């Protein structure tokens, strides 16, 4: 897998997590509080200004209550 493909999948994962966050009515403040991310970290990630680490994606997925492995599978399609 090249860098471009990896970045594309990562952004798809972020997009899917963000859609699920909104669907489940979880606030960004709740994400920040429960993960310890800075106030703007998730906002910058969603707006494609920051690239998330695996640790960040795992923590956000946990707060949302979704299996990150499944999200990655969906993002690869």
Is the pLDDT at 75 greater than 90? The verdict is yes
Is the pLDDT at 16 greater than 90? The verdict is yes
User: Mean of the pLDDT values across residues 28-36?
Assistant: 95
- Chain centroid to CA 60: 6
Total structural domains within the chain? 1
**Alpha carbons 13 and 69: distance in angstroms, whole number:** 10
* Span 34-67, pLDDT tens digits: 999 988 899 999 999 999 999 999 999 999 999 9
Helices of type H across 1-49:
3-23, 28-35, 41-46
CATH code for the domain in which residue 29 is found: 1.10.260.40
3-state secondary structure of 54: helix
Global pTM reads: 0.92
- Residue ranges making up the domain that contains 55: 3-76
């Amino acid at each position: 897998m090249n860098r471009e493909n990896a970045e594309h999948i990562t952004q798809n994962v972020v997009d899917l997590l963000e859609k699920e966050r909104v669907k489940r009515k979880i606030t960004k403040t709740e994400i920040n509080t429960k993960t310890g991310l800075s106030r703007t970290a998730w906002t910058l990630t969603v707006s494609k200004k920051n690239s998330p680490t695996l640790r960040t994606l795992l923590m956000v997925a946990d707060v949302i209550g979704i299996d990150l492995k499944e999200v990655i599978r969906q993002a690869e399609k």
